[in-house]
Chain A
Amino acid sequence: MLRLDQVGKNFGGLPALSNVSFEVPQGLVTALIGPNGAGKSTLINCTTGVLQPSSGAVRFLQQEITALPAHQIARLGIARTFQNLKLFPRLTVLDNVLTGLTCVGGRSMLMAMLRLPYLRHRERQLKLRAMEALDRFGLADKAAWQAGSLAYGDKKRVELARATVGRSELLLLDEPVAGLNAEETAEVGDQLKLLRSTGHTMLLVEHDMDLVMEIADQVVVLDSGKCIATGTPDEVRKNPLVLEAYLGRMEAMA
């Protein structure tokens, strides 16, 4: 579904990514792991149009999206969450989730200002959809809260609800359980499994190895901007290169 071909990104001559190629197959969960500074966030940003790759090509549903701006990529069907939460603290939880439906809400400013009956009708439908999404993540009773006043774990879940409410083809999740305690991690893990079982395709960037091993169908390992291994969780776990680059270091620390 998503295909990266020889993607490279330089920051002022310093390569952050070089020749990264892999594919995210439809309906599966692909995890992207790697030590800090491996280039995971750069890769996500290059995929979503926040950054432009210096070389290579990104294809999504057979279409080249390498040079497209972020909003067009979003409209094609890639939704994402952010590593350091990007909720809108002054909006209510419900409105935050509704912003996830911007792509389907109609874009004409003039129509919006006239508030014609069909728009009112659609607005009601969108609200129902947003409430359903909130319900799925157990946040329906907090719909009217200001997003800024929620606890950290709840904010993470609002972001997940916002990313999934538009029923995008592909979900990019940038560290969805970072900063959560064990219980909350398990909860989010269950929700991700539920999303997978309903046919969502996901690309997951995550440091939590237990979660990755549990829900990923495929693991891609980055180190120093290069893709050093691709395979099932078991294969990757046994790969000596990966142990060396990542898991090995973690075990040495432990």
Chain B
Amino acid sequence: MTRKQKIFYFITLHRTGLWVTALSLALLLFPLVENNPYTLGITNLIAINAIVVLGLNLFIGYAGQISLGHAAFFGLGAYGSAIATVNFELNPWLAMMLVALIVALVALVIGVPILRLSGHYLAMATLGLNFVFHTILLQWDDVTGGPSGFYGIPSLEIGDLVFFDEIRLHYLLWAFALLSLLLCLNLVRSGVGRGLAALAGDETAAAALGVNTRNAKVKVFILSAILASLAGSLFAHTYSFISPDSFNIFVATDFVIMVVIGGMGSIWGSLFGAGLITLLPEWMDLFETYKDFVHGGILVLVLIFLPQGLVSGLLDIFKTRMTLRRQKNAQA
């Protein structure tokens, strides 16, 4: 091999690791370029959403299931952390772990019966789940604070380092997001991940290859619930105030829209989907006022014209164009 080939081979062999490193470096340096707290606040929200979307994408894109109820797990994490740290005065980090564990158990108890359903039925069941959760948040105001929300959630801290201002939060939240990204990337590049991809493709075929389909679905459901719960805890500690409307069914559908736009089964796409949908209302007031219409419209358009997601869809179109042009040139 020549030197050039060696470098090329190294890059292709380690391309995932290199991309993650590049992204980490970019995020490390980002606050030096952009230190406007408002902008950082938005990118921080992207990080939180990305954690939920990564997990949900495993469930939708790899296990081939659908959930319109992940805002409930997100909310369970947020309210769980809030109650544990304010009412029970637990250490926030410990609370975060405990709550994630409880959410995992909840997901197990819900997942075992609910994942016998599929398609529309599963969508309706998970939607119902989110609706019930949202109603509980509103009605059980002794514990949750009801419609007026939950105040005074403490910030996270390591020793004397309090994660209060946007720049520190930037590093904290993106560290969590990147870690989730790395774990998800590892998972899908493994034998287990291929089993999941098989499951999304065809359940009968996956079972014939030795994939325990029911078990795998429940496991991925739990994993995605844990990630949503962690994101929820971070959300609560970041804003110190939470209210039921951050966890209603429209938020749940927004998570699904982020997955679809990023591309079902595309881990990197999850970041893009979370980014785009979080940014849209910031770019234009129109998107803020008619948010649900716009998001619904985007979902329909993407599903009709680019079912593999915005990024992979556009890339595919580009590749096809290039190949066609090359063929034309060859003929001429």
Asked if A213 lies at the interface with its beta carbon under 8 angstroms from chain B, I say no
User: How many angstroms from the CA of A102 to the CA of B212 in the assembled complex?
Assistant: 10
Interface centre among B207, B210, B308 (most CB of A within 10 A): B210
The answer to whether B191 and A74 have CB atoms under 8 Å apart is no
| B22 interface hit (Cβ, 8 Å) | no
Is there a chain A Cβ closer than 8 Å to B7's Cβ? no
Contact of A112 with B191 at beta-carbon distance under 8 Å, contacts A89-B201, A90-B265, A99-B198 already known: yes
How many A-B pairs with Cβ below 8 Å?
A: 108
Which among B197, B208, B211, B219 is the interface contact of A80 at CB below 8 angstroms? B208
B265 contacts across to A, CB distance below 8 A = 90
The residue in chain A whose Cβ has the minimal distance to the Cβ of B312 is A90
| Complex interface: stretch among A3-11, A21-29, A113-121, A231-239 | A113-121
> Chain A contact residues (Cβ within 8 angstroms of B): what range?
35 or more
* Chain A residues, Cβ within 8 Å of B197: 88, 91, 95, 99
Pick the contact of B194: A75, A89, A95 (CB < 8 A).
A95
Is A137 at the interface (CB under 8 A from chain B)?
A: no
Prevailing SS type, chain B contact patch: helix
Whether A119 contacts B190 in the complex (CB less than 8 A), given A88-B198, A102-B195, comes out as yes
Cβ A99 vs Cβ B190 within 8 A:
no
The answer to whether A98 and B194 have CB atoms under 8 Å apart is yes
**Residue of B191, B204, B206 with highest tally of chain A CB at under 10 A:** B191
Complex: how many Å from CA A102 to CA B208? 10
Among candidates B189, B192, B207, B210, residue contacting A109 with C-beta atoms closer than 8 Å: B192
Is B213 touching A71 in the complex (CB atoms < 8 A)?
Answer: yes
A37 within 8 Å of B by Cβ? no
- B186 contacts chain A at the CB level, 8 A cutoff: yes
Q: CB distance B190 to A105 under 8 Å?
A: yes
Contacts of B213 in A (CB 8 A): 71
Chain B residues near A (Cβ < 8 Å): 183-184, 186-187, 189-195, 197-198, 201-202, 204-213, 219-220, 223, 265, 308
18 residue pairs A–B, Cβ–Cβ below 8 Å? A70-B204, A71-B213, A72-B212, A74-B208, A86-B204, A88-B197, A99-B197, A99-B206, A102-B195, A102-B198, A102-B211, A108-B192, A109-B187, A109-B223, A112-B193, A113-B187, A115-B189, A126-B191
